[in-house]
Amino acid sequence: MPKYGFKCKSCGAKFYSSVSLENLPNASKKCDFCGGNIYKFTNEAHISQYAYLSEKYKKKQYKKEKRGKLEQSVEEQLENAQKKLHKKMRHAYYAISFLISRLSK
């Protein structure tokens, strides 16, 4: 859901809402700080572009892209876990060999 931006004509304070200016109650069409009138400064082109892109990239395509990223991140996590495991095993091997060398003396 797009957010609408409002700006006060008098003091320039900015407000954001998910409700358009036409649907706001009359009491909230005034600035909270100075009581001046507010106007919508969100560009309508942004909203139409959002609608266009949501139609262009359907949910299925979005899910495919997201699943691909998740699979890639899982593979990266597995690689990192393997590297850590090899490092721990190497440290354990050195510790055991050190203890064996001490015990054999």
- Give the tens place of pLDDT for each residue, 6-42: 888 888 888 777 777 677 766 667 888 888 888 877 6
Percent of the chain having pLDDT more than 90? 0
* Residue 8 CB neighbours (<10 A): 19
pLDDT at 1 > cutoff 60? no
C-alpha–C-alpha distance, residues 26 and 19, integer Å: 13
| Residue pair 16/5 in contact by the 8 Å Cβ criterion | yes
The pTM of this model reads 0.35
